[in-house]
Amino acid sequence: KFIFLGNEEFGLPVISELLPKHPGNFDLIVTSQDSSSAFDNLCLNNNVPLCRVDNINNFDNEISKYKSDSLLVCGWSQIIKPHLLNKIKCIGMHPTLLPERRGRCPITWTLIDGLNESGVTIFHLDEGVDSGDIIFQEKFKISETDKSIDLINQINKLLINMFSDVIKSFPDLPRIKQD
């Protein structure tokens, strides 16, 4: 069983597809206080509880109540602190091929630098920033006319399948050290 933590840009499109593909696998959906009512409707329609938080690191007692196997993190900008990492296995995503373009604004920098290829990484979260062991990576092509929203849409399509693979394979997930 999983807890899903996500924002609107990446999290909502991904969990909207994962819930019907993996019914009964999600104990809780967590998003930010200012996310739209689309999360409310999604959770109501799929009979999954929803919690809204300002800081996920202040939510560890609530997460412990669910006894879930893992926290799937999709598009969350806060760094998850050690006290939470020690309570639950955390698996996250990064919208590039790590270790390239760690940190903030990776999509913007991908476009500014004129790359013709990028990708998505699913990885085990650790105490560093985008530094954990890699689970899966998928590449995609970038055209000269692509904008940020085009990359986000490509990334979300890949994430749906990649997180689905995580759910199917859990807990037997690869661990590829980053360089």
Give 94-142 pLDDT, tens digit per residue.
999 999 998 889 999 999 999 999 999 999 999 999 999 999 999 999 9
| Distance from C-alpha of 127 to C-alpha of 125, rounded to nearest angstrom | 7
| Distance from C-alpha of 94 to C-alpha of 166, rounded to nearest angstrom | 15
- Counting every residue written for the chain, the total comes to 179
Instruction: Specify whether the CB–CB gap between 149 and 166 falls below 8 A.
Output: no
- pLDDT given at position 179: 86
Q: Which long-range contacts (CB under 8 A, 24 or more apart) does 126-129 make?
A: 126/85, 127/82, 127/85, 129/79, 129/102, 129/103
Helix (H) or strand (E) holding 167: helix 148-169
- pLDDT given at position 46: 96
- pLDDT given at position 103: 84
The residues of the chain scoring below 50 in pLDDT are none
Return phi, psi of residue 95, to 5°: -80, 40
